[in-house]
Amino acid sequence: MLLPSTKSMPDLIGNTPLLHLKQVSELTGCNILGKAEFLNPGGSVKDRTALGIIRDAEKKGTLKPGGTIVEGTAGNTGIGLTLIANALGYKSVVVMPHSQSREKIELLDLYGADLRLVNATNYNDPNHYIHTARRLAEELNESEPHGAIWARQFDNTANCAIHESSTGQEIWEQTGGNIDGFICAVGTGGTLAGVSRALKSHKPDITIGIADPMGSSLYNYFTNGELRGEGRSIAEGIGISLVTDNLRLAAVDEAFAINDKDALPYIFDMLRNEGLCLGGSSAINIAGAVQLAKKLGPGHTIVTILCDYGDRYKSKLFNPVFLENMGLPAPDWMRN
């Protein structure tokens, strides 16, 4: 018999703590807080998106018992979808570019995803991972006995909706409404859109910022309307050159272009001085929070997202040879 307080895996998603980020708070004179999304059972903020999309598809009747979920992903959404699929009796097919970290690919394999690695190409290429996932979902919907859906995280606004009702609402409650700014980077835009909508509904004059890595087009888009980017970033899961249906729902007041050179030292310091091993998108987010703090001035409270663990980028972010090849500085302790 199930006890009333017994939980299953999907119940572990969300309700993550809000952490005080000591060094950057001291540096800016602001109260900078990070939502500990790496604590989700799949290790990232994207567990929420995966659950939101699955629950929405179940409600609409498009995802049938025993059905297959197909998605194109930088990895984390695939990890969330696969673990939830395992828990709820679905199958998952994950299309992912080779360029993503070896650790994420190994995790997906371990968790039992039907993994399809493709070349990292431009969005206009018909073999781009997003287009490949759409085609595969159409084919599998015909051939699989219980059908297949394409999760479509970029344009499926169940993604924004789950962040509005969970992530954004949690941040509002955890800060007791004592919050002046929120900032994060964009992959699909689901987090930024959902959180900004929840917070603006409670406090219309809150400042919402986007932290955009180099190589992404959104800093220019929000600054002068041009979808154009230059340079590159090693942060995975963020940075795009298109305006998704989720991003269209975001309310953005400030945009900041963030360099890896400036951002990565924040996560190296977080590991060595605050005991948290975070991924590259968290570095971009923390650097963005510092920029927003400088803009708002001391005494303000700013929240950002700590998206995933750094362990899943050990071979890149925490590898001095890789960093050197990318022209990025590695701290002394990493080289010894």
* 43 forms part of the interface with ligand PMP (CB under 6 A): no
* 279 forms part of the interface with ligand PMP (CB under 6 A): yes
* 187 forms part of the interface with ligand PMP (CB under 6 A): yes
Active site residue 314: no
CA proximity to 187, closest of 237, 123, 260: 237
What is the number of residues in the chain? Answer: 336
Cβ–Cβ under 8 Å, residues 157 and 246: yes
Q: Angle at which helices 260-274 and 280-296 pack, to 10 degrees?
A: 100
* 133 forms part of the interface with ligand PMP (CB under 6 A): no
Q: How far is CA 289 from CA 35, 230, 245, 247, in A?
A: 12, 22, 25, 19
- HSE toward the beta carbon, residue 326, CA cutoff 13 A: 20
> Nearest distance from residue 243's CB to ligand PMP, in Å?
12
Considering only residues 294-323, where is the footprint of ligand PMP by CB under 6 A? 307-308
Cβ nearer to ligand PMP, comparing 289 with 307: 307
Rounded Cα distance between 61 and 55, Å, is: 10
Q: Which of these segments, 53-61, 138-146, 180-188, 293-301, binds ligand PMP (CB under 6 A)?
A: 180-188
Choose, from 46, 91, 104, 316, the residue flagged as catalytic: 46
Cβ nearer to ligand PMP, comparing 67 with 280: 280
* 46 forms part of the interface with ligand PMP (CB under 6 A): yes
* 76 forms part of the interface with ligand PMP (CB under 6 A): yes
Considering only residues 237-266, where is the footprint of ligand PMP by CB under 6 A? 237-238
Rounded Cα distance between 209 and 32, Å, is: 14
Residue nearest to ligand PMP (CB): 237
**Chain positions contacting ligand PMP, by CB under 6 A:** 44-46, 74, 76, 185-192, 237-238, 279, 281, 307-308
Active-site positions read 46
